Structure 1
């Protein structure tokens, strides 16, 4: 356990595996809270936005709680944000799960269903290598290229902005599974289920710079 002055707010909006995320965060810091309250989350130095489920349900829940606006305010104030799995996907412009739905539009792109190809299962589930092509997000800088992380997803992020990215090769495509746009971070895999590498990445976000 490390001494950490950053207050970590974990968003509870009815679409996250909070138990696993909390267990991982506990290994890094005691200075965290889980909340769906706008004012409480506003006090956080850094926000983690986990997510499991559908794009449309996630956005509906966020809007009902007013947390969509809170996340945008948090980012605009310069504070770091980390989206995990579905939490990464809803940072994009829009998704198509259960109909077209507008996302938070913090990163340009769409969330699309993997194509049905022989030899590939949907969802993409299990351990897979994360690949580097050029500049990588800060959290990955001391993680080796082709380190394995744990995935569960049927939809993928088609990111159209020129930002720091990492990839996985699936369905004959190099798919973006991590990005950094200034203080906005996202990972498609589950760091909380990815053993040492996942805990290291979370530690870098919690303790690191923007």
Structure 2
């Protein structure tokens, strides 16, 4: 499939949000003037004024994923960085608009969004486009890495660290309304809450919400030694 002519622009969607501002600032610092995309022109201009560019960055005003996709199809940027959130809804129309020849990056950390974008692989491959989902180090990436570290872990010689006997045998993706689980260490009284000194990642485990709340309550009642 022919890629067609594209600009060399890098668009940052959701540029007035915290993550969008950080991405735009990093691009500007690296000598890549970002195109700021958002719903409010005044806020986009205020963000642009903080980037230290000689000329104010270009701003694109669009209020919905469909409107943003239409602008991408019309103006044909080289790269689109999606920081809008709600990726299960926003990723597909925006990523499709980048085809052919454009490239797409988002920060999704939920399985449905990732699977939907992954389904575009054959289409993107044929169009000469790269689609990157789950960029950064979000919750899903963290859980997957820690789970892999815990798989088949052995007790190191001379170390008191042992893998949790309740460690999941595969990456834990827990869905539904009870799907937001917390990682807590075995040792609760530590200098750094949430990561005991000298402990390895293999000691972490996923704790259901009701158990996490109960432990928090117990921690508050227990005197510090």
TM-score above 0.5: no
Q: Which entry has the higher C-alpha Rg, 1 or 2? A: 2
Which structure dedicates a bigger proportion of its chain to strand?
1
Higher relative CO (Cα under 8 Å, sequence separation at least 6) belongs to: 1
TM-score for the superposition, normalised by structure 1: 0.36
